[in-house]
Every structure is written in C-alpha cells, then in structure tokens.
Amino acid sequence: MPLLFSYGTLQKEQVQLETFGRVLKGENDSLPAYKLDFVEITDPEVLRKSEEKFHPIISYSGNAKDTVKGILFEVTEAEILAADEYEVDDYKRIETLFASGKKGFIYIEK
C-alpha cells in the first residue's frame, strides 16, 4: 500500500472524508532537510474543503537542521490520484525517504 505524507490540510478529518471517502490511518513521521512556508489558495473547492485560505507548503532546503513534521498515511493508488486532484498547481508530488526510513509520496513546492 502506498504511503502519503501530510504536513497540512490532508490531516483534517473533513478533508479526508471529502477527498477519499474515509478517515486515513497513519503514524507520525518527519522529513529532514525541508522547510515549511505558506501559499495562498484560490481554488474555491479546496477553500471549501479545507476552510483555510493559506496552506502550508514545503521546499527542499538541504539543511539537516530543517525538519517538517507530519503524518505518513496508508493510501490506495486511487487515493493518490484523488490527492493529486485536491492539491493545487503550486504543488508537485514526489517520492522520498522519511526520517523513519520509510519511502512515500509528498507534495512539495513546484
């Protein structure tokens, strides 16, 4: 089963229910050498689901002291595609290695 890391609105139960039709199961993890920032959301559907105008967004910093904490969720292939639809054009999905040693997907700044 694929793993998807969330450090923002995909952790919200309401967003999960509307995006995936279920509440996801996951565990705490972190991503070293990335830094957190925010992006303004203008997509009306994403604004409705998240109820937040500014969403967190991360980018690679290369600095081992930078760490982004989040949750690594177990998802299906279909749910990865649903997450692709939820995330706005400011994000791109990549696969990477997390602090736990597990490999999974994450959305970072384009």
What is the spatial distance between Cα 60 and Cα 71, in angstroms, rounded to a whole number?
18
Given the candidates 3.10.490.10, 2.60.120.260, 3.40.50.300, 3.30.1490.20, the CATH classification of the domain at 3-109 is: 3.10.490.10
What is the spatial distance between Cα 107 and Cα 76, in angstroms, rounded to a whole number?
16
What is the spatial distance between Cα 65 and Cα 44, in angstroms, rounded to a whole number?
36
| Residue 83 per-residue DSSP state | H
Q: Is the CB of residue 34 less than 8 Å from the CB of residue 77?
A: no
pLDDT digits (tens, 9 = 90+) for 42-81: 999 999 999 999 999 999 999 999 999 999 999 999 999 9
How confident is the model over 98-109, as a mean pLDDT?
97
- Secondary structure of residue 68 in the 3-state scheme: strand
How confident is the model over 83-92, as a mean pLDDT?
93
The predicted pLDDT at position 48 comes to 92
Residue 82: count other Cβ atoms within 10 Å of its Cβ.
15
The predicted pLDDT at position 6 comes to 97
pTM: 0.91
Domain boundaries, the chain: 3-109
- Secondary structure of residue 110 in the 3-state scheme: coil
**What is the share, in percent, of the chain residues with pLDDT greater than 90?**
96
The predicted pLDDT at position 13 comes to 96
Q: Is the CB of residue 78 less than 8 Å from the CB of residue 90?
A: no
